[in-house]
Amino acid sequence: MVRIFAAGSGLVPFSRPATGRGYQKMASDAARAALDDANVKYSDVGACVCTYNYAAPTAGQSAIYDLGLTGIPIFNANNNCSSGSAGLFLGRSLVLSGQYDVVLCVGFEEMDGGLSEPFQDKASPTARQFDFMYNELGIKKGKIAPKMNDFTSDIIKLFSEAGQEYCKKHGVSEGIFAEIAAKNRLHGQQNENAMLASKKPPPTAKQIAAQ
C-alpha cells in the first residue's frame, strides 16, 4: 500500500475583502510557509490544487503566480464548506495516480459577513434542499437574526436540520455540537491566525448549549 504524507503546512491570518490584503497575498504566503515547513522547493512541486468559494475561475493560478512559473498543472475546486478536505483528497489522489511525487494544496477565502449565491440568474444548487426543508419538514421561513441575510439564515437552518437527523440516526445527543463548538472556540483563542480570536475566556459546552 502506498503511503501519502502531509509533509508540511502553513497558515496565515484570515482577512476580509475590506482590508485590501487580497487572496493572492494570503494564499502565496501560506503556500511559502507550507513549502518551508516541508523543506521542499516550489520547483519540486509537480501539481497544485487550489480551493476556494468566493473568487473567480482560475483564481488559484492568480493566487500562486508569485511562487513562480514552472508550467505545472493547477486545479481549482469549489465545494463549499468541504472545499479544504476536497483539495486534500484531490491532492492525495494525484500522488496515488503515480503521476506526481509532490502536490501542493492551497486553500484561501475572502468572505464578507454572511453567505451568498453569486449567480442569481442560474439554478440554485441548494434549491432542492430548501424546498424540502420548508415544504416537507414544515420549517418556518424567515431570518433567524435581523442583520442576517436570507441565504445565510436558510443555510444555518439546513445544517440544524441535518444535525438533528444525524443525532436521531446514530442515537447521540445534540450536546455533541455544543462540545464541538466549545473545542473550536478554545482552539481559536490559542491560534494567533484565527479570524475571530478573542482574549475572553471561551464559553464552555454547557454555556453554548444554554444559548
Tabulate helix, strand, coil % of the chain (nearest 5): 45, 5, 45
User: Strand runs (DSSP E) across 86-199, as ranges?
Assistant: 103-107
How far is 26 from 14, CA to CA, in rounded Å? 8
How far is 55 from 74, CA to CA, in rounded Å? 15
Helix (H, G, I), strand (E, B) or coil at 69: coil
Phi and psi at residue 150, in whole multiples of 5°? -60, -40
> What is the separation of C-alpha 125 from the centre of its chain, rounded to a whole number of angstroms?
18
What is the reported pTM? 0.87
User: Strand runs (DSSP E) across 27-118, as ranges?
Assistant: 47-51, 74-77, 103-107
- The one-digit pLDDT tens for each residue of the chain (211 residues) are 788 999 999 999 887 888 888 999 999 999 999 999 999 999 999 999 999 999 999 999 999 999 999 999 999 999 998 999 999 999 999 999 999 999 999 999 988 778 888 888 999 999 999 999 999 999 999 899 988 889 999 999 999 999 999 999 999 999 999 999 999 989 888 888 887 777 788 899 999 988 7
> What is the pLDDT at residue 64?
94
CB distance 133 to 161 below 8 Å: yes
Rg for the chain (alpha carbons), in Å?
20
**Closest among 29, 40, 32 to 100, alpha carbons compared:** 40
DSSP secondary-structure letter at 157? Answer: H
